[in-house]
Amino acid sequence: MLELRAITAGYHTKAPVVRGASLTVAPGESVGLLGPSGCGKSTLARVAALLHRPDSGTLLLDGEPVRSWRHRAPRAQRTAFGVVFQQPRLSADPRLRLTDLIAEPLRATGRRGGIEERVCELAASVGLTPDLLDRRPHEVSDGQLQRACLARALALRPRWLICDEMTAMLDASTTAALVAAVEDYRATSGAGLLAVGHDQVLLDRWCDRTIHWEDVTGRTTPTTGRLPQASGRRQPSVVPPAGER
Amino acid sequence: MTSRPPVLSVRGLSVRFLMPGGRRIAAVTDAHFDVAAGECLALIGESGCGKSVLASALLGLLPANAQAAGEARLGCLDLLTADERTLARRVRGRLIGLIPQSPAAHLTPVRTVRSQLEETVAALTGTRGRAAVRVASETAAERAAFPTGHLDSHPHELSGGLAQRAATALALVGGAPLLLADEPTTGLDRDLVDHTVDELRRHVDSDDHEDGTGRALLMITHDLMAAERIADRVAVMYAGRIVELTDARTFFGTPGPRHPYSRGLLQALPQRAFTPVPGMPPELGDLPDGCAFAPRCERASEACTALPSMSGQVACHHPHVPEDLRA
Ligand code: SF4
């Protein structure tokens, strides 16, 4: 279970971009978080992925409160998350070949053997052909680079995926291909998903339920109702789908 | 469609990039199309298909290692052979109004919208005198529905929608008969996408242009929903070639497109099947001799090892025919 409770976060304590936001993702569940650009939903996604320490509020990971963020977070918690951002060019080191980009988390966690095979496997799962793996970011398209970023996010077999506007810059076919790759991974791993975006049609099609930003930050957010321990994957949550209109 | 003479007429436009080591990249190959006054043509395709290169070629903004061939006529001027002086003085702003991909980045950050508009008005129109320039700038802002109350704002103080309108106001100042919009909706929320394309459409339809006609609009986009909302005709580009050029209503409605790639693109939409076209587009530096879509095409046959020519509205050896669709 991934639970955000009354999270307030931002970059200046006097002017937080997120105020009192609460939401829950059950294991295996996919939740779409819909909001206009600039509303603060990306900041909330970063809090959920342990990348940004909130000013106040609680993040519970399987019932355990998270106490530290970023590199201070315990490795087991950090590696439970795979994150994909909107702009692959900003989140990929331009000097790395795609193969090294995908292998980054494997090397960072001290893995020695079998890296090459694992990278091949990951590349195939996101539809990257072997000839592209030797290229550097400027030698591939945005769509190809985003595929590599998704492969990198899947490298440590995360239990939670956070996709922040993952497809906002991409064409329809690449969007459908990336979403399919995420869903294939979730089908075999049982990972939960928080997909943040501004396209309701896409989120409704992709996720078990879509929640609206104003319902996440509003007073009516169901923060207290205990969710049943979800065991299987894709188990629907009891939280009413606020996005259904 | 329209029987007006085309504002822009492109014939056999090709662009090659010469890379170090003698490699040649075929970014655009043999493009043919027209855009008439009062008409919007949407050029759609995946990123890297050559559509932005085509736009750069029309504006004379290709990098030094590019070679363009063919013809792109705007009135009596061939954009491909025009020199930089002509392009800078007569074409950009005056004959072609560019509506950029990210308006916030296109506007000068340290100056107010008013000062940028006034400078453009003074440079592109005959208006002289402070008061007259000021009035003309306010008129230009109003034409793009930019609220005059925000004219003294700096670009970073504007919402995405207002920045887009400011950029549009600048593009309209010179009274250009052709508007070129390059991915004008990327990264915008859907409401704002709708709003932006509706406003662009208004400039195509309105007859506020000097000779009483609307403007011609060439919109380059990967956003199929935006294209559906605004376009009269659609050109689909794949691996540097236009593979289908057809009426927008036919394309988005029934019977739908005829080229297998166009059909695949539409089926990838979350509103439709949400299934991707399998595989990825080919490398423009290493295109096959035959149809470039063949490795991804379920209709491919022996015949497809030969390049399909554009016949009618589609370049394909086995296009869908309406009978297939009824079955
Ligand atoms: S020419 Fe052949 S391979 Fe190309 S799109 Fe048509 S059927 Fe498919």
> Are A173 and B270 inside 8 Å of each other by CB?
no
The residues facing B93 across adjacent strands are none
Residue A166 lies in a domain: yes
B139 backbone dihedrals φ, ψ, rounded to 5°: -60, -40
Paired tokens of A139: 């030698």
Dist. CA B197–CA B190, nearest whole Å: 11
Question: Is residue B296 lining ligand 1, measured as CB closer than 6 Å?
Answer: no
**Per-residue model confidence as pLDDT tens digits over A24-47:** 999 999 999 999 877 889 999 999
Question: Is residue B260 lining ligand 1, measured as CB closer than 6 Å?
Answer: yes
Atom in ligand 1 nearest the alpha carbon of residue B260: 5
Domain containing residue A52? 2-86+160-231
**Per-residue model confidence as pLDDT tens digits over B303-324:** 999 999 998 899 999 999 876 5
* pLDDT at residue A226, as a whole number: 36
Atom in ligand 1 nearest the alpha carbon of residue B297: 8
**Per-residue model confidence as pLDDT tens digits over B51-92:** 889 999 999 989 999 999 999 999 889 999 999 999 998 999
* pLDDT at residue B273, as a whole number: 96
* pLDDT at residue B208, as a whole number: 61
Quick one: which of B63, B70, B66 has its CA closest to B27?
B66
Dist. CA A236–CA A222, nearest whole Å: 15
Q: Is the CB of residue B93 less than 8 Å from the CB of residue B173?
A: yes
Is B47's Cβ below 8 Å from some Cβ in A?
yes
Dist. CA A220–CA A213, nearest whole Å: 12
Closest residue in A to B279 (Cα) is A127
Is A128 or A241 the better-scoring residue by pLDDT?
A128
Mutational pocket test of ligand 1: of B236, B244, B310, B318, the residue with most ligand atoms within 8 Å of the beta carbon: B318
Residues of chain B with pLDDT under 50: 1-2, 327
Tokens 């605004």 -> residue: B230
* pLDDT at residue A22, as a whole number: 96
Min Cα–Cα distance to chain B from A89, Å:
14
Residue A135 lies in a domain: no
Is B195 or A82 the better-scoring residue by pLDDT?
A82
**How many residues belong to chain A?**
245
Residue A18 lies in a domain: yes
CA A114 to chain centre: 26
Residue A227, pLDDT > 50, answer no
> Are A37 and B222 inside 8 Å of each other by CB?
no
> Are B265 and A205 inside 8 Å of each other by CB?
no
pTM given for the model: 0.85
**Per-residue model confidence as pLDDT tens digits over A139-167:** 888 899 999 999 999 999 999 999 999 99
The CA-based dihedral angle spanning residues B59, B65, B70, B76, taken in that order and rounded to the nearest 10 degrees? 30
The pLDDT confidence band at residue A99, using thresholds 50, 70 and 90, is very high
CA A28 to chain centre: 13
Q: How many structural domains comprise chain A?
A: 1
* pLDDT at residue A238, as a whole number: 35
What is chain A's mean pLDDT, rounded? 87
Question: Is residue B291 lining ligand 1, measured as CB closer than 6 Å?
Answer: yes
Question: Is residue B238 lining ligand 1, measured as CB closer than 6 Å?
Answer: no
Is A124's Cβ below 8 Å from some Cβ in B?
no
Is B93's Cβ below 8 Å from some Cβ in A?
no
Dist. CA B280–CA B226, nearest whole Å: 23
Residue A167 lies in a domain: yes
Residues of A in contact with B186 (CB under 8 A): 169
Percent of chain A's residues with pLDDT above 90:
72
* pLDDT at residue B22, as a whole number: 86
Q: Is the CB of residue B34 less than 8 Å from the CB of residue B6?
A: yes
Dist. CA A89–CA A92, nearest whole Å: 6
Distances (CA, A) of B104 to A145, A169, B118, B184, B217: 25, 17, 18, 11, 21
Q: Return the exposure string of B189-206: e unless at least 16 CB atoms fall within 10 Å of the residue's CB, then b.
A: bbebbbbbbebbbebbee
Dist. CA B32–CA B30, nearest whole Å: 7
Amino acid at A34: L
Amino acid at B191: D
Amino acid at B8: L
CATH code where residue A63 lies? 3.40.50.300
Percent of chain A's residues with pLDDT above 70:
89
Q: What is the mean pLDDT of residues A105-131?
A: 93
Question: Is residue B122 lining ligand 1, measured as CB closer than 6 Å?
Answer: no
* pLDDT at residue B259, as a whole number: 97
Question: Is residue B233 lining ligand 1, measured as CB closer than 6 Å?
Answer: no
Name the CATH architecture for the domain at B8-38+45-86+225-324: 3-Layer(aba) Sandwich (3.40)
* pLDDT at residue A232, as a whole number: 36
Chain B residues 278-307 with CB within 8 Å of chain A: 279-281
Contacts for A227-234 with beta carbons within 8 Å, 24 or more apart? A227/A1, A227/A24, A227/A26, A229/A1, A230/A1, A230/A26, A230/A27, A230/A28, A230/A29, A231/A27, A232/A28, A232/A190, A233/A27, A233/A28, A233/A29, A233/A186, A233/A187, A233/A190, A234/A28, A234/A29, A234/A30, A234/A186, A234/A208
Angle at A193 between CA B46 and CA A244, to 5 degrees: 85
